[in-house]
Amino acid sequence: MAEVQGSKKKKKKSSKRTRKEHRYTGEQTYASKVAVGVGMLGAALLGAGVYERWIFEQPKSFAVYLVALGAFALVGAVAFGDLGTLPVRVGDLGIAIERGNELERIGWCDLKRVYAEKGKLFLEGKESTSAINIAAQPKAVARILAEGTRRIPEAMDVKRAAIEGLPTPRDDDGEVLTVDAPQVAGRTCAASGKTVAFERDARLCPQCGEVYLKDRVPKKCLTCAADLGERALEA
Ligand SMILES: [Zn+2]
């Protein structure tokens, strides 16, 4: 919670504003229990396979498959269970997945495509793709879909059937945090392609977080098409 800060900064006429995000811890769900079960089953199969193949006096050929299946289930369950329990943050700065002390953050403007597949919500960015287990993070996923549809409609590619039964996001969902402005120095101005050297030269789209040099702010955001101009925020 290093980036949580006193929200009551003195109000200037500036176009800064309070940035918020909702933090959701992973829920102990049927899915994560299944993951544990599958993991245990995998371990058992692995053990049985090893026993049949290498310890039992007359090795059976199917034992190799038991080992493979067991290992596969075990690895799958570990990955699946892990993803399901990581806390997720959703808000003005985009989406962040907490991996231990690291925040893996992706801004709305950096999302190329958001889609659901096999029980996970995939966040495809310019450089990498992350996935969130829908069953373990129903509220976070619901908020991502709601905010994403409002902020970056073009990137949203989620079929209704994949997300049935999700809760309706509420203002007091999860743990509401006040967060600092995102790191903008070093980012590229979306209009000019120039690197933003200093924070004070940057302006941000309030809807998707896209970064512009202050002299190059377009009338409409080039990423999400929101009206920009005077509405652009200081970092
Ligand atoms: Zn924008």
| pLDDT per residue as tens digits for the range 96-133 | 999 988 999 999 999 999 999 999 999 999 889 999 99
In terms of pTM, does the model score above 0.95? no
Q: How far is the CA of 149 from the centre of ligand 1 (A)?
A: 13
Count CA atoms closer than 13 A to 77's CA, side-chain side.
18
4 inside domain: no
- In this structure, what token pair is assigned to residue 147? 């905010």
Residues of the chain scoring pLDDT < 50: 1-13, 83-84
| Å from CA of 184 to ligand 1 middle | 15
Q: Answer whether residue 56 is part of any domain.
A: yes
Q: Calculate how far, in angstroms, residue 161's C-alpha sits from the geometric centre of ligand 1.
A: 28
- Say what the pLDDT of residue 215 is: 96
Q: Could you give the CA distance from residue 69 to residue 12 in angstroms, rounded to a whole number?
A: 62
Q: What is the pLDDT of residue 90?
A: 98
Range of the domain at 68: 30-84
| Res 83: pLDDT | 46
92 and 152 share one domain: yes
Domain count, the chain: 3
Amino acid (one-letter) located at 192: S
Answer yes or no: do 77 and 101 share one domain: no
Last residue in a domain, options 179, 205, 223: 179
Q: Could you tell me if 211 and 184 are in contact, meaning their C-beta atoms sit under 8 angstroms apart?
A: yes
Same domain, 140 and 62: no
> If you measure from the C-alpha of residue 69 to the centroid of ligand 1, how many angstroms do you get, rounded to a whole number?
46
**Tens of pLDDT along 165-188?**
899 999 999 999 999 888 899 999
Which of 44, 64, 84 is a domain's end point? 84
What are the residues whose beta carbons fall under 8 Å from the beta carbon of 113, sequence distance 6 or more?
A: 122, 124, 155, 157
